Structure 1
Amino acid sequence: MPSIAGTEPFDSAKELHELFIQRTHVCLWLGVVFFSLFSLLDFIYCRSFFWLFLGYRLGFVALLVFLLLLLRYPPVRQYSHSVMWSAMLLGTIVITVMTVHLGGFASGYYVGILLMIAGGFSVLPLTVPQSLILGGLMYLVYTVTVSLISLSHGSISVPALANNSFFFFAIILITSVQCYDEIQITVKSLRAKASLRAILTELRLYTDNLEQLVCKRLEMLEESDLKFFDLYNALPDLVVLIDDKGVIRMVNRLGAAMLNQTVENLEETMIFDYLFETDPDVFVKRVIDRINEEGAIRDVQLQMITPRGRRLEVEISGNHIALSQAGMHYHLVIRDITATKKMEREVLKSSQLLDTSRQAAIFGLARLAECRDDCTGSHLLRIREYTRILAVELSGFPEIKGIITAQFIEDLCLSSILHDIGKIGIPDAILLKPDHLSAEEFSIMQQHCLYGSEALTLDDYEEEELGFLKMGQEIALNHHECWDGSGYPNGLSGMQIPLTARITALADVYDALTSSRPYKPAYNHEQARMYIIKESGRQFDPMIVSAFLKREQEFKAARRDLLLHTHPSSITTDTHGQP
């Protein structure tokens, strides 16, 4: 549109420069506020460096205030880009110096630079080249500074450098993409403001030619509609309009391509045809019925399939639209989340691998003590299985309903194998003695409960994160306590004894009875069963004994299977030839 008399043509470079000056003030003030506030983090995280870091921060804040004062003078305003870039690079230097004090590349303080990049680039109207260059310079300042200082003190932590570099480049790339979108939107916004000013001028100049002005506005409206239509078709998600029968009435171009179809081929077809192993009634219930009830839905996950057989994981959001003379219709936005779901499965697989590694580490820790008198580790395997059997049965008992959860069982199976970890502190002469212990020796042996409890103390850790170790501590301390109070080391009785220790106590005694020792032969299952029944209410919690009797065949089978797996010659048989 030609410029109107009295108005200037739109100059995007000039407008962006003015906007940059405004945003520079905002960024510098944000730097003043946040660099000061993050002193709280220094006080909590690295108190020994608090005063030194406070000096760095206040020095940088003073520099920012000085730059703000300089920008008040018109001759300096034209150099706002240089001022802002200098502030970002100086801030990078300050944070880099802090990371050097805290271990160089191993320090997580470099995240402060990432916050500067994310915050500054989101506020400033930067082009993609500008964001890449500035981000690259900040990265070079950080890596070169830390590398030079690290080399002068020893060596560079290459894994930490690689990890930090990955996040640097990821943030730089993400913010550069954001800068691209923001600059486009900003230019359009500035252009729209310039157009609005031109429109106001036109209204003043052409009030005597209103009809002509209305025609111009109609043309602009049509152009706006075309732009909206282009935007609709440019959306990467599948956007469909369906009626209450599931017939697709309208679809965007890129969304149709997601299903390997054209708009013409998709319209007037049934959306049910593109569902993978989902009954139409299920789709109606989860999508259409919910929209009718709630007015809108979000993030309903289903699977779809293209005519070529490619399966898609999708997320559906939508609402209803009442069209005149056409009844109720439903507007759905269907997003392809196949890649996201794949990533979630990979994360889950990694988590499961980590859990397996953790269990292996705990098992190895328990065997440090156990292998001194059982190098096979089979005792630990049996204890873990026996406690699992008892816990699963007890989870249905009304007396403790809700206490034994799936997490409780998982932690118990992991922590029960640590019950004798304290034996590592018992002398070999007592632990490996092939005969009954004297009273003095038995008193020393009893100390393994205290040793185990102390070894698993969690003073420096969060209990929620290491619940199985907390559970292991109470088992190690209390698994020789008796229901009637005659046990050790503290003479606890009844419900004073933790449930985990009561469960492990029975499992441990059953395994001790059915295992041979230098001073006794192994009991068969029936003999061990009779002993446990006799000790119900004395050594053992009657409720735990009841759970054992209900699952005794599983005890018997687990003992047989694990003995066959480790040393089959050790299996004893009863008079009927059963182990």
Structure 2
Amino acid sequence: MRKKPSTTGTQAVPVHEEMEELFYQRTRICLWLGVVFFSLFALLDYVHARSFFPLFLFYRLSYVLIMLGLLAILHLPPIRRHTPAIMFAVMLLGTLVISLMTVKLGGFASGYYVGILLMIAGAFSVLPLTVAQALRLGASMYLVYALTVYVNDRPLDRPELMYVINNSFFFFTLVIVTTVQCFDEFHTQLRSLRAQKSLQTISRELKRYTGNLESLVRERLALLEESDLKFRDLYNNLLDLVVLIDMHGMIRMINPHGADLLECSSQLLENRPFSDFLPPHERELFHGDVLTRIRRGERIKGVQMQMLTYRGRPLEVELSGNTVHLPEHGECCQLIIRDISLTKEMETRVLESKQLLDTSRQAAIFGLARLAECRDDTTGAHLLRIRAYTRILAVELATVPELQSVITEHFIDDLCLSSLLHDIGKIGISDAILLKPGRLTAEEYETMQRHCTYGSNALASAEKGSESLSFLRLGQEITRYHHERWDGRGYPYGLAGEAIPLSARIIALADVYDALTSTRPYKPAYPHEQARRLIAEESGRRFDPVIVEAFLRREQEFKSAGTRLTRDRARTS
């Protein structure tokens, strides 16, 4: 009876300890982000609350010093054990600081509470929080905000109560959205860590059973000319599939483990074509590439392919090989084939986990974008339509020779994702202006124009926390410049022509088409034909003529997409 090998090597770290280490590392990231952004937002205080700037600067610097102090001592073991409690306390203290600023700027009527929402969106997307932790922290931050403002702003009249309801709605909506994201990311992270542990265990098992296989093979091959018996002994004891084939692809020798792996006896396998155990799509690769290279004297290593057992069961294998000369068989190809089916399965699971994480992030981004849209979008389908129109235009523009090097598949995917964020800055515009049914005054219109810079600045801050999120760079371009005009009469900077980023020029047309064909408080929905005529008339004035031409070529797809998405959203509402 074979003795079971003993476990060797370093003891694996439990998954929960790795999650604690991940929480600690991301807490440090959050604290550094807090230091940077709390300091930078003093510029916003200087612009929008100049009379309180000295007081607000004192609040911010005090909070920043506290975070720097915690960063300095957080590496100490007695302190490090309390990382979650410290992080939660920092979040609540930051909420208190922003709430005190809110009190000075009008209480519940002030839009400064958005800073608390940004803290939640940032921290909850970075920290590996459980659902319970996310809900407790979100509820605690709301209580700190609500109680602080209420104590300093009572009694509340009817307009202020409406602001309380409005702010509470957005607060809890964001907490729920980010909690869903936390649930997905936390469990995805757990599955990923467990998959890594499984892969590590498999790797240790393979090393324990195979040892240093390549070194063993090289040592034994050096003795082939001395003893054919030693050669056969080597084949009989290797735990991988080792097969000897002649230059015509016929099996001349196979080791016992290889025969077991192929679910057949060594006697039946010998003198059969090796290609009998390959799927049709792999035979050309084997004969046209692998076998040809070995015949030329090249050494093959790490070629992954599929095989079939005698009973037709598929195997994922990794193949290495070289040429050997044996007195009994002449010039032959020696193949060492390792079964990697289990490893491939684990890789697939890890890939599925990553795809699930990407899906969760996109859902969270859509939810955050809806926070800005849901206050003035009665249909609820605006974001879906903008994304659809953007893809139609981008795919058509990719056929323009001058733009083919710019509009790649990756560019289109990032553009469609970032298009959802084009009006994220509206979250900083008060309801009195955003929901006004009539024409805006000059002062109100100037305030509304600021949503471009609000949104771009917010996305720029988010991008600093994650260099891998390339779509946020497009998002900054779109939010800042999508109201610029081709003739230079747009806002906020009056850019003209190709000085306006291509991404913003595309979204500008998609956004205007949706505005024209949608019902708004100040106008009915225009039919597609009227919207088409108005856009065509603005070619060279408001819009890039190349983009207008692309729209006209695909106008029926615009019309169909708008109708379908509006109808689908109405059914699900």
Q: TM-score range by the shorter chain?
A: 0.5 to 0.7
The 1-side partners of 2:200 and 2:571 are apart by 59
Tell me the SS of whatever aligns to 2:464: coil
The 2-side partners of 1:319 and 1:166 are apart by 34
Q: Which amino acid aligns with 2:524?
A: P
**CA displacement at 1:229 relative to structure 2:** 3.7
Match of 2:77 in 1: 100
The 2-side partners of 1:221 and 1:274 are apart by 27
**CA displacement at 1:453 relative to structure 2:** 0.9
**Is 1:552 the equivalent of 2:565?**
no
**Is 1:361 the equivalent of 2:364?**
yes
- Which segment drifts farther, 278-287 or 408-417? 278-287
Q: Which amino acid aligns with 1:103?
A: R
Match of 1:298 in 2: 301
Question: Identity of aligned pairs, percent?
Answer: 56
**Is 1:252 the equivalent of 2:255?**
yes
Alignment check: 8 A CA contact 1:237 1:335 kept:
yes
Match of 2:173 in 1: none
- Going from structure 1 to structure 2, the CA distance change for 1:227 and 1:100 (only over 3 Å counts) comes to farther
Match of 1:331 in 2: 334
- Going from structure 1 to structure 2, the CA distance change for 1:239 and 1:277 (only over 3 Å counts) comes to same
**Is 1:239 the equivalent of 2:242?**
yes
Q: Which amino acid aligns with 1:258?
A: L
Tell me the SS of whatever aligns to 1:300: strand
Alignment check: 8 A CA contact 1:105 1:164 kept:
no
- Going from structure 1 to structure 2, the CA distance change for 1:340 and 1:162 (only over 3 Å counts) comes to closer
For 1:21-58, what per-residue CA distance to the aligned partner results, in whole angstroms no more than 9, with x for missing partners? Answer: xxxxxxxxxxxxxxxxxxxxx9xx99x9xxxxxxxxxx
Match of 1:400 in 2: 403
For 1:445-493, what per-residue CA distance to the aligned partner results, in whole angstroms no more than 9, with x for missing partners? Answer: 1111011111111477366401112211111111101111111001111
**CA displacement at 1:519 relative to structure 2:** 1.6
**CA displacement at 1:427 relative to structure 2:** 1.1
**Is 1:270 the equivalent of 2:283?**
no
The 2-side partners of 1:454 and 1:300 are apart by 49
The 2-side partners of 1:373 and 1:229 are apart by 80
Alignment check: 8 A CA contact 1:494 1:541 kept:
yes
Q: Which amino acid aligns with 2:416?
A: C
Match of 2:436 in 1: 433
Q: Which residues of structure 1 form unaligned runs of 5+? A: 1-41, 49-96, 108-157, 189-219, 571-579
**Is 1:419 the equivalent of 2:396?**
no
Number of aligned residues: 397
Tell me the SS of whatever aligns to 1:547: helix
**CA displacement at 1:328 relative to structure 2:** 4.3
- Which segment drifts farther, 520-529 or 353-362? 520-529
Considering Cα pairs closer than 8 Å and 6+ residues apart, tell me whether 1 or 2 has the greater RCO. 2
Q: Which amino acid aligns with 2:77?
A: V
Tell me the SS of whatever aligns to 1:495: helix
The 2-side partners of 1:423 and 1:355 are apart by 26
Alignment check: 8 A CA contact 2:210 2:239 kept:
no
Alignment check: 8 A CA contact 1:251 1:263 kept:
yes
1:556-571 alignment runs, 5 A limit: 556-567=559-570
- Going from structure 1 to structure 2, the CA distance change for 1:516 and 1:294 (only over 3 Å counts) comes to farther
Tell me the SS of whatever aligns to 1:315: strand
Match of 1:487 in 2: 490
Alignment check: 8 A CA contact 2:225 2:326 kept:
no
Alignment check: 8 A CA contact 1:463 1:470 kept:
no
TM-score for the superposition, normalised by structure 1: 0.61
- Going from structure 1 to structure 2, the CA distance change for 1:563 and 1:345 (only over 3 Å counts) comes to same
**Is 1:540 the equivalent of 2:536?**
no
**CA-based RMSD:** 4.1
Match of 1:63 in 2: none
Q: Which amino acid aligns with 2:483?
A: H
Alignment check: 8 A CA contact 1:274 1:306 kept:
yes
- Going from structure 1 to structure 2, the CA distance change for 1:289 and 1:553 (only over 3 Å counts) comes to farther
Alignment check: 8 A CA contact 1:242 1:250 kept:
yes
Q: Which amino acid aligns with 1:452?
A: G
1:64-143 alignment runs, 5 A limit: 100=77, 103-104=80-81
- Going from structure 1 to structure 2, the CA distance change for 1:277 and 1:458 (only over 3 Å counts) comes to farther
For 1:271-322, what per-residue CA distance to the aligned partner results, in whole angstroms no more than 9, with x for missing partners? Answer: 1111123364443113212334571222222221112221111222222335
The 2-side partners of 1:321 and 1:224 are apart by 14
Q: Which amino acid aligns with 2:525?
A: A
- Which segment drifts farther, 246-255 or 280-289? 280-289
- Which segment drifts farther, 343-352 or 507-516? 343-352
- Going from structure 1 to structure 2, the CA distance change for 1:370 and 1:244 (only over 3 Å counts) comes to same
Alignment check: 8 A CA contact 2:249 2:273 kept:
yes
Match of 2:264 in 1: 261
For 1:84-141, what per-residue CA distance to the aligned partner results, in whole angstroms no more than 9, with x for missing partners? Answer: xxxxxxxxxxxxx96726724979xxxxxxxxxxxxxxxxxxxxxxxxxxxxxxxxxx
Instruction: Select the residue among 503, 506, 528 that pairs with 2:506.
Output: 503
The 2-side partners of 1:331 and 1:181 are apart by 18
**CA displacement at 1:562 relative to structure 2:** 0.3
Q: Which amino acid aligns with 2:479?
A: A
- Going from structure 1 to structure 2, the CA distance change for 1:176 and 1:246 (only over 3 Å counts) comes to closer
The 1-side partners of 2:434 and 2:518 are apart by 16
- Going from structure 1 to structure 2, the CA distance change for 1:231 and 1:377 (only over 3 Å counts) comes to farther
- Going from structure 1 to structure 2, the CA distance change for 1:173 and 1:322 (only over 3 Å counts) comes to closer
Tell me the SS of whatever aligns to 1:418: coil
Q: Which residues of structure 2 form unaligned runs of 5+? A: 1-24, 32-73, 85-185, 217-222
The 1-side partners of 2:394 and 2:490 are apart by 22
For 1:539-569, what per-residue CA distance to the aligned partner results, in whole angstroms no more than 9, with x for missing partners? Answer: 1111111221222121111111101102379
**CA displacement at 1:234 relative to structure 2:** 2.3
**CA displacement at 1:527 relative to structure 2:** 1.2
**Is 1:341 the equivalent of 2:318?**
no
